[in-house]
Amino acid sequence: MYSLSIAAKTAMILFPIIALLATVPFMIGQYQKYGSVSSYRYVVVFSFLLYLMMCYFLVILPLPDRGTVYDSAGYNLHLFSYLPEIAQEYDFSSTGGILHFLKNAIYLEPVLNVIMFVPLGIYLRYYYHRPFYQVFLLSFVLSLFFELTQLSGLYGIYDVPYRLFDVNDLLENTMGGVIGYILTPAFIAVLPSLRQIDRYQKKKGTTVTLCRRLLAFYIDFLFCTVITVVTLNMFSDKKTWKVILLIYGVMYVFFLLQQLIFKGSTIGRHAVRITVSDRNGGKPKAWQLMIRTFIRITILMQGCMIIPLCKYVPAMYIHKAKVLCALCFVGIWCLFLLDGWIATLRQHRSKVLCYEILTHTMCVSTLSLSSSIARTKMEVEEQLNEDE
């Protein structure tokens, strides 16, 4: 129980960090498949991640001091090797026999090994729709990974294994996964239907939400940061304002060319399956993309453009200048977010931002475009069949 407590505490401490790193890839995957993010799917996937972390830490923790590990814990390749010991110790005639059975580690460990993998079978069948043979194999493979982790002395960190490699653990863990698979229908009866969630997500994916825009903006911002760092390293000897203009020009060309070549899409927009169209749903014109790109790059670049100019401010006013720059940076982003929030409250489908009103453009979901194209093809095929 002590190792279980240590494993749970360690997993809970590290989980927020792992979840933060995994959130963006998870959201990109959801937008690619459904066009929207389901909070229920988020809870299921990340609870599964937490469960796997707890299992892993339960296998390796607590870590002994390297100086105290001299003798190998070895390995056991005999199935049910604990049965003779159980038969020898368990006394059916004793009044406290059953209680003794439940408390003794010899009896309790096999049961806990089975229970530990029951959630794995449930997750694999319910959420990932794995068939029986895959649940069986994945349970065995994960258990084997845990046992080899122990046998390797935590991947060579310890000179000898500090925990026993036991073939009985492989059997018991695999049985747990299979039992979880068998019990899954009882949980499906009370859990939400994933098919209904799929339909709801795809329906919601035809609209462009503020969160979807921000994620695309964030991905584009990362590329802007890379371009800024590379340019600063290449032209560090140039004057500040020249470097700023150079960075601005490089990013402007980089994002404009993407949109011209990929019909309004950028790396960030492609990741979340949105693109730019004109107000009629057609391909945007070059001048529209040029103005949009100018405004977007200005928002992305404002910190890079304003803060370096502080070096030209007299020393006695430098602190105030930096505070003013920070306020400008935060203020522009707040206005941008406020504009996006107001756009999401509008009743009409386009939900355009202020600069989209200026350029007569809007962001649309490529998921809805794909659905429209598919419906059009079906209608054409039906018409051709009727004509024949």
In Å, how far from its chain's centre is CA 290? 33
What confidence score (pLDDT) does residue 310 get? 61
Q: CA separation (Å) from 39 to 27, 195, 197, 234, 294?
A: 10, 15, 10, 44, 35
| Strand 75-76 with 165-166, pairing | parallel
> How many whole angstroms separate alpha carbon 71 and alpha carbon 93?
39
Mean pLDDT, 10 residues at a time, over the chain (388 residues)?
81 94 94 91 95 93 79 74 66 55 69 93 94 96 94 85 88 96 92 88 86 87 80 68 77 87 88 88 87 80 60 67 73 73 60 78 78 45 49
Other C-beta atoms within 10 Å of 139: how many? 25
Residues 6+ apart with CB under 8 A from 153: 69, 159, 160, 161, 162
C-alpha closest to that of 15 among 65, 55, 62, 61: 55
Q: CA separation (Å) from 154 to 52, 56, 378?
A: 17, 11, 57
What confidence score (pLDDT) does residue 74 get? 73
> How many whole angstroms separate alpha carbon 116 and alpha carbon 110?
10
| Strand 361-365 with 274-278, pairing | antiparallel
Characterize 34-64 residue by residue with b for buried, 16 or more Cβ atoms within 10 angstroms of its Cβ, and e for exposed: bbbbbeebeebbbebbbbebbbbbbbbbeee
What confidence score (pLDDT) does residue 101 get? 58
What confidence score (pLDDT) does residue 236 get? 65
C-alpha closest to that of 196 among 21, 361, 38: 38
> How many whole angstroms separate alpha carbon 149 and alpha carbon 153?
7
Q: Look up residue 112 and give its amino acid.
A: L
The structure tokens listed for 215 are: 């994620």
pTM attached to this predicted model: 0.79
Would you say 337 and 345 are in contact if contact means Cβ atoms under 8 Å apart? no
